[in-house]
Amino acid sequence: MTIVFDGVAAGMLLFLISIGLSVTLGLMNFVNLAHGAFAMLGGYVCVLLLGQAGWPFLLAVPTAAAAAALAGVVLERTLYRRLYAASHLDQVLFSIGIVFMSISAAHYFFGARQQPIMLPDFLLGQFVLPGIDVGIYRLFLIVIGLGLAYGLHWMVRRTRFGAQLRAAVDNPRAARGLGIDVDRVFTLAFALGSGLAGLGGALGVEMLGLDPGFPVKYMVYFLIVVAVGGSGNIHGSLIASLMLGLFDVCGKYYLPQVGAFIIYAVMVVMLIFKPQGLFGRSAAK
Amino acid sequence: MTAVLETRGLVKQFGGFIATSDVSLSVAAGARHALIGPNGAGKTTLINLLTGFLEPNAGAVILKGEDVTHLAQHQRVKRGLVRTFQINRLFADMTVLESVTLSVCERLGYGWNWWRPLAAHGAAVDEAAELLGTLRLLDVAHEKTRNLAYGRQRMIEIALALAAKPQVLLLDEPAAGVPTGESRELFDTIARLPREVTILLIEHDMELVFRFAERITVLVGGALLTEDVPEVIAKDKRVKEVYLGEALHD
Amino acid sequence: MTPAALDLSPLRRAAAWHPAEFAFWLLPPAAYFLFPDYLALLSQIAITALFVLSLDLILGYAGIVSLGQAAFFGLGAYAAGMLGKYGWGDPLLGLAAAAGVAGLIGFVTSFLVLRGADLTRLMVTLGVSMMLFEAANKMTDITGGVDGLQGIEMKPIFGAFSFDLYGKTAYWYTVIVLFLLFLLARRLVNSPFGLSLRGIKQNVLRMPAIGAPVHGRLVTIYTLAAAYAGIAGALLTQTTQFASVDVLAFNRSAEILLILVLGGSGSLYGALIGTVFFMVAHHFLSDINPQYWQFWLGATLVLIVLFARDGIMGLGRAAVARLGRKAP
């Protein structure tokens, strides 16, 4: 049971990081393979603030998310925007370029080693329920993940920004006609996605690890979440992330000799038989 | 007259929307047949069903007495059923000669030849050049398609179809977007095609339709309204109402 | 008007050998004598060029995007490695086996890959290659995992030319294989079959309407390209007498994509020239500092996508066109 619990926590992290990709790839139709770079940025900022500057954890994590969001805005305004209309291949090449640059920048500033993270005392330790050891930090991750999933769902369904985003994605031209500032909406959506990735990266240092190879190591996982969960679908992404987290953690524990093979196989089979994802694309609309 | 192309009870649904409803149509060999109807009548859907781009939910497509309902698009082309597109579908980075030669090669079965260069396939190249001559495109034979004016590109759209030597040619608004003067030339070219080529034309411009067609089918809301010679259609009250209705909506 | 009125020479010129091409193919023999100390690097260049050529055939000509071409490279590398390890070290037999295995898997997976659109293809090709990578990584008793396949012994080519310590035989062997397969590819892209591939890339929806069986054409070229990649992988194993899971890594697939775009996709010489530039730069710059190399690589990629989409070949053509305009 403890393993299941860990799997759920890992799934929540994947959800936090992937939901932004679900928006850019799924809704805005931009293949951003560099999405993990924003998560990595959040991770490094968090580690730096905690370790070097001695900030408290609960302040460092949101700052890390903000830093990733800011980086997202800057890159979107200067570079990404030019490629919205480009082919998927161009977007792939461009974002691989960004990945390479981010990896070598991380190498340059932080070296190749895994970054340690010091969690605050109140998140350490675990308590024992019948049949399950509950790590407090794991529980913290699950609560935050659920809270954000609910918050995002509410934002997309109920707020003005959510309505504008849905309109801008469905039909940019018509949305412009209605007086929606589509460019601004896209920038904000991109910033939100990068910010969430940064948040996931910061919270994930303890579980997923953090080294310069991060953007490539988890790239396929993020893609799987989008592929399986369906584009821009919050519920779908959440369920897909949880499944993936469970598969991954349980698989590594019970079937180490098979490794990640199953996960890739599931993705390929999914893409072939249900190219719209298990949960379609309609639920977010 | 024998029918060269027929549909029997063709039905196509998209979700709950019925785009084509029980359409039975018969096009006689050598006909100059037009398919008209207001916007959204399902004309292009019907063409897509005929050519195999879409598969019907029910009904059959019969070409020269053979049921082709489940044949792939390219197999229907091989049997002589060829179409043009309402919106150009061209090979933008090929020269005009290359594009048309490509189409000729596919018809002659050269498409799998991978050893001898294109220029060595003299029969195909000569035939393509001859077709360009007929369509007055020789002067741009070595220009890239993307660099040509829209009217010329529209002519290439037809050239690609003619290179496949159609027995039945489906023209989906061939003059769409072409300036009036050039559209006349375009239609003259179509009118000069030999009688062995049966033509089914979709067109919005009623003047062109009545000048060209010898038989007219009217489609409304995915279903057949009526079919007759132009003189009768011109006097048909229901047809007038349909078009008047559209005019009022516009 | 009659066809005789049309000058067909531009069409013939397209397939005829240009003087610059003869000059280009004088470079490999020249390099042998000019840089005898760099034969290992030069062999690597020839192998990578062949690998990039395989991607050019599907991406540059037929428009199939792939992030998993390393799958076939790796299959070829292991096929040749296994044969060499268990006493079937004849190089040409190894090449044939590599082409066969990679081509077979290429043929089978083509049906998965070709079902979807660009995005699905990217992810399916990536997924298939990752599956192979993981499989090879875990089956250490067969593949040797990260440590690699040890004890590969190669017999002399045609029983006469044995692989020497200086890599002379290896160099001529790889260059000749590259040249022969290049000739084949050159034939292919200038033929009606090649034209139909370009047609599929430029307007896949039109092709069935002129009677072309799109799926069959794509399966064919995908299979052939897989065989090319397999041969490239086999050459690597045979000339280095080593193969590890690295031959299947994602980095390889991304790298050749990058080289192809750098050189100019949709042009065979783009693939070759891109490889030469990339490998030489890699060799000398990454010696200085591997991280800087990767950074500038990424930056170059971003710049190419934004400003020079047709790569070196595109820049070259633009320069030639400008010179042509200035000249009287």
- What single letter denotes the amino acid at residue A78? T
Q: What is the pLDDT of residues C38-53, one digit of tens each?
A: 999 999 999 999 999 9
Q: Do A105 and C123 touch (CB under 8 A)?
A: no
Whether A105 contacts A112, CB under 8 Å: no
What is the average per-residue pLDDT within A150-168? 84
Confidence category of residue A135, pLDDT binned at 50, 70, 90: confident
CB–CB of C111/C62 below 8 Å? no
Domains held by chain A: number: 1
Q: What integer pLDDT is reported at residue A259 of this predicted model? A: 67
Would A265 be classed as within a structural domain?
A: yes
Report how far residue C239's alpha carbon sits from residue C80's, in angstroms, rounded to the nearest whole number: 11
B247 pLDDT more than 70: no
Per-residue pLDDT, averaged over C110-121, amounts to 85
Q: Supply A183's token pair.
A: 């460019």
How much is the pLDDT for B235?
Answer: 87
**Nearest CA to CA, how far is A261 from chain C (Å)?**
5
Task: Say if residue C271's pLDDT is above 50.
Answer: yes
**Cross-strand partners of B61:** B7
Average pLDDT over residues B149-173: 94
Residue C4 pLDDT exceeds 60: no
DSSP A175-221: HHHTT--HHHHHHHHHHHHHHHHHHHHHHHHHHH---TTHHHHTHHH
At A194-217, the pLDDT tens digits run 999 999 999 988 888 898 888 888
More confident residue, A116 or A277: A116
CB-based contact C299 A220, cutoff 8 Å: no
Give yes or no for A271 touching C (CB within 8 A). Answer: yes
The backbone region for C241, taken as left when phi is positive above 0, alpha when psi lies in -120 to 50, beta otherwise, is left
Measuring CA to CA, which residue among A200, A228, A231 is closest to residue A214? A200
C43/chain B closest Cα distance in angstroms = 28
Here the ipTM equals: 0.91
In angstroms, the CA C182 to CA C262 distance is 19
Confidence of residue C284 (pLDDT cuts 50, 70, 90): confident
Task: Check residue A162 and give its pLDDT.
Answer: 83
Query: For C234, how many CA atoms within 13 A lie in the half-sphere containing its CB?
Result: 31
For residues B102-120, average pLDDT: 94
- Look at A128-137, A200-209, B70-79, C292-301 and tell me which has the smallest mean pLDDT: A128-137
Please calculate the CA angle A266-A272-A274 and round it to the nearest 5 degrees. Answer: 85
- Range of the structural domain that residue A6 is part of: 2-124+133-273
What is the spatial distance between Cα C269 and Cα B238, in angstroms, rounded to a whole number? 64
pLDDT bin (cut points 50, 70, 90) of residue A41 is very high
Residue A284 lies in a domain: no
In this predicted structure, the answer to whether residue B158 has a pLDDT above a threshold of 60 is: yes
**To the nearest whole percent, how much of chain A has pLDDT over 70?**
95
Cα B55 to Cα B59: distance, rounded to the nearest angstrom: 10
Give the percent of chain C with pLDDT over 90: 60
Residue C195 has, within 13 A of its CA and on its CB side, a CA count of 32
Give CA separation, B208 vs B174, B181, B198, in Å. Answer: 11, 12, 17
Check residue B214 and give its pLDDT: 94
- Cα–Cα–Cα angle for C286, C292, C297, rounded to 5 degrees: 85
What is chain C's alpha carbon radius of gyration, rounded to the nearest angstrom?
Answer: 20
Q: Are C261 and C301 in contact (CB under 8 A)?
A: yes
Contact status, residue C169 vs residue C239, Cβ threshold 8 Å: no
Q: Is residue A263 part of a domain?
A: yes
Q: pLDDT tens digits for C294-323?
A: 888 889 889 988 887 778 888 888 888 887
| CATH (one of 3.40.1190.20, 3.50.50.60, 3.40.50.920, 3.40.50.300) for B1-80+166-250 | 3.40.50.300
Structure-model confidence comparison of residues C140 and B107, the more confident one: B107
Q: What is the pLDDT of residues B202-214, one digit of tens each?
A: 988 888 888 899 9
Interface test with C, best of B44, B48, B90, B106 (most C CBs within 10 A): B106
Show me where the domains of chain C are located.
36-249
User: What is the spatial distance between Cα B47 and Cα C83, in angstroms, rounded to a whole number?
Assistant: 56
Residue B221 near residue B228 (C-beta atoms within 8 A): no
Return the structure tokens found at B13: 């649904």
pLDDT for B220-240, tens place per residue? 988 999 999 999 988 888 888
Sequence ranges of the domains in chain B: 1-80+166-250, 89-165
Cα dihedral angle (C118, C119, C122, C125), rounded to 10 degrees? -90
The answer to which of A159-163, C211-215, C246-250 has the lowest mean pLDDT is: A159-163
DSSP state of A284: T
Q: Is A135 strand, coil or helix? A: strand
CB C73 within 8 A of CB C232: yes
Q: Rounded mean pLDDT of chain B? A: 91
Of the candidates A100, A261, A272, the beta carbon closest to that of C301 is on A100
**B148, pLDDT greater than 80:** yes
pLDDT reported for residue A278: 58
Taking the alpha carbons of A207, A210, A211, A212 in that order, is the dihedral positive or negative? Answer: positive
pTM: 0.90
B103 at C interface, C-beta within 8 A: yes
Chains in touch with C (3+ beta-carbon pairs under 8 Å) read A, B
Cβ proximity of A277 and A229 under 8 Å = yes
pLDDT tens per residue across span C163-198: 888 899 999 999 999 999 999 999 999 999 999 999
Mean pLDDT on B158-177: 93
